Amino acid sequence: MQPRLPLNIHQITRMSNTPTRSRLNPAALLLAALLSWPTLVLAAPPQPGQPLPELALKDQHDKPWTVSADTKLVLFAAGRKASNLMQTVLAGQPAGFLASRQAVYLADMSRMPGFVTRTFALPALREMPFVVGVVLDEALLADWPRQDGAVALIAMQGGRVSAVSHATTDAQLRSALGLAP
């Protein structure tokens, strides 16, 4: 048996320039499409008459957060002004207030820089006496209803969306929560 000699630079160059042919496997493409389908469903906006897309998120304490079947109102804050409005209205309410109203609070913090989210926003939310579902992936709820400075009010009935509106003032949000203006 002859000993193998090390390859020289010219042989290595010829080997690396050898064209390779890659094929896309149809089964792999189908699998990728099927696996991405739940993501497409999650990104769908809430529409009256349709079930709310299932959301598997975390709350401000990093615990699992979902919208239960008996939820009557989803309060969706997708910006700083909307979050400030939510916190102003909820500030004087006791622990368990949202649950007593069969309401949940969902905050989209995806556009906030990660450092600010971890250092300031989440620690401030942890001090609140209510649970907040936290969205950190911008694509997850990109198509959900948004208005600058408004909280989206997603009314639910029997696990289905019955109406979508927006609250831009304390009075509107308080009314949606059954509080005196």
- pLDDT at 128 (0 to 100): 87
Q: For residues 173 and 91, is the Cβ–Cβ distance under 8 A?
A: no
Residue 9 has pLDDT above 90, yes or no: no
In a domain, 37, yes or no: no
Domain annotation covers residue 169? yes
Please tell me the total count of domains within the chain: 1
Res. 40: pLDDT tops 90: no
Q: Residue 159 corresponds to which amino acid?
A: G
Q: Give the number of other Cβ atoms within 10 Å of residue 172's Cβ.
A: 18
- Does residue 40 lie within any of the structural domains? no
Q: Is residue 27 part of a domain?
A: no
Pairwise pLDDT comparison (35 vs 72), residue with the higher score? 72
Q: What is the pLDDT of residue 38?
A: 41
Examine residue 138 and state whether it is found in any structural domain, yes or no: yes
Domain presence at residue 14: no
Q: Which of 17-26, 74-83, 125-134, 162-171 has the lowest mean pLDDT?
A: 17-26
- What pLDDT does residue 119 have? 81
Q: Report which listed range, 8-17, 88-97, 139-148, 160-169, is most confident.
A: 160-169
Mean pLDDT of all residues belonging to the chain: 81
Residue 72 has pLDDT above 90, yes or no: yes
Would you state the pLDDT for residue 16? 47
- Is residue 15 included in any domain, yes or no? no
Got the DSSP string for 165-179?
A: EEE-SHHHHHHHTT-
Domain CATH for 148: 3.40.30.10
For 98, the domain range is 46-176
Domain-located, residue 110 = yes
pTM of the model: 0.73
What pLDDT shows up at residue 25? 55
Element (H, E) at 85: helix 80-90
The proportion of the chain whose per-residue pLDDT surpasses 70, expressed as a percent, equals 76
With a CB cutoff of 8 Å and minimum separation 6, the contacts of 59 are 65, 131, 132, 133, 134
